[in-house]
Amino acid sequence: MHLYDLTIHEARALLDAGEISAVELTQAVIDRILAVDNDVRAYLTLTPEVALEQARAADAMVGAGLAPVPSAPAQGQPQGWPLRGIPIAVKDIICTAGIPTTCGSRILEDFVPPYDATVVARLKAAGAVILGKTNTDEFAMGSSTENSAFFPTHNPWDLERVPGGSSGGSAAAVAAGECLGALGTDTGGSVRQPAALCGIVGLKPTYGRVSRYGLIAFASSLDQVGVLTRDVTDAAILLGVIAGHDPLDSTSLDVPVPDYTAALTGDIRGMRVGVPREYFIPGMQPEVEAAVRAALEKLADLGAEIVEVSLPHTDYALPVYYLIAPAEASANLARYDGVRYGLRIVGESLEDTYKQTRGRGFGPEVKRRIMLGTYALSAGYYDAYYLKAQKVRTLIKGDFDRAFEQVDVIVAPTSPTTAFRIGEKTEDPLQMYLSDIFTLSVNLAGICGINVPCGFDAQGLPIGLQMMGPALGEMTILRVAYAYEQATDWHTRRPPI
Tell me which residues are annotated as active site: 91, 166, 190
CB of 136 within 8 A of CB of 148? Answer: yes
Tell me how far apart the alpha carbons of residues 26 and 31 are, in angstroms, rounded to a whole number.
Answer: 9
Helix, strand, coil shares, percent, the chain, to 5: 40, 15, 40
Q: Are the C-beta atoms of residues 119 and 242 closer than 8 Å to each other?
A: yes
Q: Angle at which helices 8-17 and 22-40 pack, to 10 degrees?
A: 150
DSSP string, 473-491: -HHHHHHHHHHHHHT--GG
- Return all residues near 492 (Cβ < 8 A) that are at least 6 apart: none
Contact 41, 163 (CB under 8 A): no
Angle between helical axes of 232-242 and 118-125 (0-180°, round to 10): 110
Separation of alpha carbons 264 and 299, rounded Å? 15
Measured distance CA(179)–CA(94) in Å, rounded:
17
How many angstroms separate the CA atoms of 447 and 494, rounded?
30
Report which secondary-structure segment, H or E, holds 226: strand 225-229
Fill in the DSSP letter of residue 178: S
CA distance 475 to 473: 5
Question: What phi and psi values does residue 341 have, to the nearest 5 degrees?
Answer: -160, 170
- CA separation for the pair 259, 480 (Å, rounded): 16
Main-chain dihedrals φ then ψ at residue 71, nearest 5 degrees: -110, 25
- The per-residue DSSP string of 144-158 comes to SS---SS----BTTB
Query: What stretch of H or E contains 364?
Result: helix 364-377
Do residues 183 and 227 make contact, with C-beta atoms less than 8 angstroms apart?
yes
3-class secondary structure, 70: coil
DSSP reduced 3-state for 190: coil
DSSP at 37: H
